[in-house]
Chain A
Amino acid sequence: MSSPASAEWRIARRVLLAAAFIASAWVLWQARSLLVPCIGAAFLAYVCVPAVDFVERNGLPRAAGVILVALAGFVAVIGVGFAIRSAAPSAEGVLELKVRAIHAVAGRYARLMDLDETSLRGNRLHQLVGREADATVARAARFLALTPEEDRLLVTQGSLDARWERLRRQHFEDEALLERRGLRDPARASTDSADSTDAWAGSMAASVAVLAQLLPAWVTAFFLFVFLLADDGRIKRDLFALVPNRYFEPVLSIHADLHATLQSYAKALFTQCALLGFTVALALAIAGIPPRWALVIGFFAGMANVVPYAGIGTALAGGMLYALLGYEAHPFMPFVNAENLPWAVLAAVLATDAIKNAVYDPLVFGGALELHPVAVILGVAAGATIFGFLGALFAVPALAFGRALGGSVFRQLRSYGAI
C-alpha cells in the first residue's frame, strides 16, 4: 500500500508534467513562425541524407557531401528561377496576354449569354443570372484593364506590324463593347495611374518588411538543414542516451516505425509528383495544348502536387488559362478546335485526376499514407490557416507522422507490457 507522501508526490509530479506540457505548447505556439521553416528544413535534410551518404560512401568526407548537396540544391533553385524568369512574358507579352484575355472574356461571355448587338438582351441564362454574371465580368475586366503605360505601348508598339494592328483593333472593339454593356469602369485605369508610384513604393516597403520578418527564420532553417545533413548519427545517439533502459527497445521500435513511414512517404510523394506531372503534360498535349506549354503546365502541376489537390488544381488553372485566352489549339483529335478547347482541357484534367485516384494513389502510396481524404482536406485547411503556405505543404506529412507515431507508441508499449 502506498504512503500518503508518495501519493502526494505522484499528484505533484502529474501537475508538474501538465504544467511542463502546457508551457511547451505555449513556447511552440509563440515560435510557430520559426517552427514551420525548421520542420521543412528537417524534412528536406531527411530527404537529402541518402545523397550525402552516397557521396561519403564513394570516399569523400561527409562535409564535402553536405557542400555538394547544398550546392546542387542552390543550382537547382537558381535554375528553376531562371527558367520561370525566361518563361515569364516581357512587357509586350503581358500586354498581348491582357488584350487576348479581355477579348476572350468579352467574346466568350457574349456567346455564352447569347447577347445581342445592343448587349442588353440575352438568352434565358442571362435573364436568370445576368446581373451577377455582369458584375463578375466587370470585376474581371477591371482586373485586366490596361495601365496608361500599357495603353501607350499598345498605340506605339509595332505600328506597321499586322499582328499588333489586329490586337489594337481587337482591344478597342472589346473596350467599346464592355463600356456599352456597362461592364467597364473607366475611372479604374486613371486611378491606378495616379496612385501607381505610391502603390509601388508601398508594396516594396511591405515586401521588405515581410522579408526582414522572414529572414531570421529562413537563415535558422538553412543552418538547421546543414547541421542535420552533417550529422553522423550523434543526434540519435544523444537522444537515445536519455531513454531509460526499460523503454529502450520500445522506443527503438517506434523510431524504426517512424523512419519507415517518413521514408516511404517521401519516396511515394516524389514518385507521385513525377507521374502526375508527366500525365498532365501528356493529357494536355493530347487535348490540344502545344507540347511545350503542356510540359510547362505539367512541370508546375507536378511541383504543386506536394500540397494535396494543388497539382490537379494547377493543371486545371494552367490548361484553362491557355484555352480561354484563345491561343491556337494543336489537337491530336480532329473534333477539338480553339472553340471547344476548354472542354477538352477539362476532360483531360478530369481523366488525369481519375488516373491519379485509381492508379497512382493506391499503387504509389499504398500503405504509406493511410489517411482519410476528409482528414487530409481538414489537415491542409488547418495547416494553411495557422501556418500559411508552409502549413499546407507540411500538413499531410505531419498528419502521416502523427498517425504513425500514435499507432506505433500504442502498439509497442502494449507489446512490451508498458501499458
Chain B
Amino acid sequence: MTPAPPASADHETLVHFLGRTTLFGGLGKRDLEHLARFVLVRQFRDGESIYEEGRPGAALFLVRTGRVEITKRMADGSTLAVASLDPPASFEELAAIGGEVARWTSARARGAVELLALGRADLESLSRQNPSAANKVIVSLAEATARRLHLLLESQGT
C-alpha cells in the first residue's frame, strides 16, 4: 500500500484532533476537514509568552501538545495563576467572537507547546462559507464563555 504524503497525514491528525475538542466536537467530518484549512499551527518554547494581558486578542487557541499556564497580574504587582490547560483545552474564545477587547490574562508555555490558532476573520469566513458549521461553533464558543464566567463568579464566592 502506498503511504499517504506527510501533508495529508498531518491534515488527518489535525481533523482527528479538532474532533476531540469541546468546541468543534459537534461538527461532522466534512465540516472538520473544512475547518482544518483555517487553523494555523504555532510552536512555543518553554516559558515563551503566548499573549500578554492588556493587549487585544485576534485568535482563539487550542492546546494540541504541552501545557499552557494562564496568569493574572494583581493590583499589588504579584501574579496569580488562574489556570493550567492541557490538550485538548481551548482558551481565548472571546477573541474569536468579540470585538476589540483587551485580554485580561496572560498565557505562557510550560514546556514545549503546540497550539492551533483560529483567527476572528477565519471564523467570519467559515460563517460565510459554511453557515451551519459556523453556527455550531458559535454555540460552543458561547457555552465555553458562559462556563468560564460561571467558574470566575464561583471563584470569587458570589
Binding site for B on A (CB under 8 A): 50, 53, 57, 232-234, 236-237, 240-241, 245-246, 248-250, 252-253, 255-256, 259-260, 415-417
Contacts and interface: CB of A to CB of B under 8 A. Distances in A.
Interface centre among A53, A245, A255 (most CB of B within 10 A): A245
Contact of A249 (B7, B37, B41, B59): B59
Interface of B: 7, 37-38, 40-42, 44, 48-52, 55-59, 117, 119-121, 128-130
A309 B65 CA distance: 56
A233 B59 contact: no
A252 B58 contact: yes
Contact of A256 (B38, B44, B50, B121): B121
A232 B36 CA distance: 10
A265 to B, nearest CB: 16
25 contacts: A50-B128, A53-B129, A232-B37, A237-B40, A240-B40, A241-B40, A241-B41, A245-B42, A245-B44, A245-B50, A248-B42, A248-B59, A249-B51, A249-B56, A249-B57, A252-B58, A252-B119, A253-B58, A255-B119, A256-B119, A256-B120, A256-B121, A259-B121, A415-B56, A416-B55
B55 A57 contact: no
A231 to B, nearest CB: 9
Nearest to B125: A259
The 10 closest A-B pairs by CB, nearest first: A256-B121, A233-B37, A249-B58, A253-B58, A252-B58, A252-B119, A240-B40, A53-B129, A232-B37, A415-B56
Contacts of B37: 232-233
A57 B121 contact: no
A255 B121 CA distance: 9
Nearest to B57: A249
Nearest to B30: A59
Nearest to B121: A256
A237 B56 CA distance: 22
Contacts of A233: 37-38
B5 to A, nearest CB: 12
Contact of A245 (B48, B121, B128): B48
Contacts of B38: 233
Nearest to A240: B40
A415 B120 CA distance: 17
B122 to A, nearest CB: 8
A58 to B, nearest CB: 11
A256 B128 CA distance: 15
Given A232-B37, A416-B55, A252 B129 contact: no
A250 B51 CA distance: 11
Contacts of A416: 55-56
B10 to A, nearest CB: 10
A415 B7 CA distance: 35
Given A57-B130, A248-B117, 13 more contacts: A53-B129, A245-B48, A248-B42, A248-B59, A249-B59, A252-B117, A253-B56, A255-B119, A255-B121, A256-B58, A415-B55, A416-B55, A417-B55
Most chain A Cβ neighbours within 10 Å, of B40, B44, B58: B58
Contacts of A236: 40
Nearest to A260: B121
B129 A57 contact: yes
Nearest to B39: A237
B134 to A, nearest CB: 12
B106 to A, nearest CB: 13
A252 B41 contact: no
Contacts of A234: 7
Contacts of B50: 245
Contacts of A256: 58, 119-121
A236 B119 CA distance: 12
Contacts of A50: 128-129
Most buried by A among B44, B49, B119: B119
A50 B128 CA distance: 9
A234 B120 CA distance: 18
Contacts of A260: 121
Contacts of B119: 252, 255-256
Contacts of A232: 37
Contacts of B40: 236-237, 240-241, 252
Could you say which of A241, A256, A259 has the most chain B C-beta atoms within 10 Å of its C-beta? A256
Contacts of A417: 52, 55
A249 B55 CA distance: 10
Contacts of B41: 237, 241
A84 B14 CA distance: 51
Contacts of B48: 245
A385 B51 CA distance: 46
B76 to A, nearest CB: 23
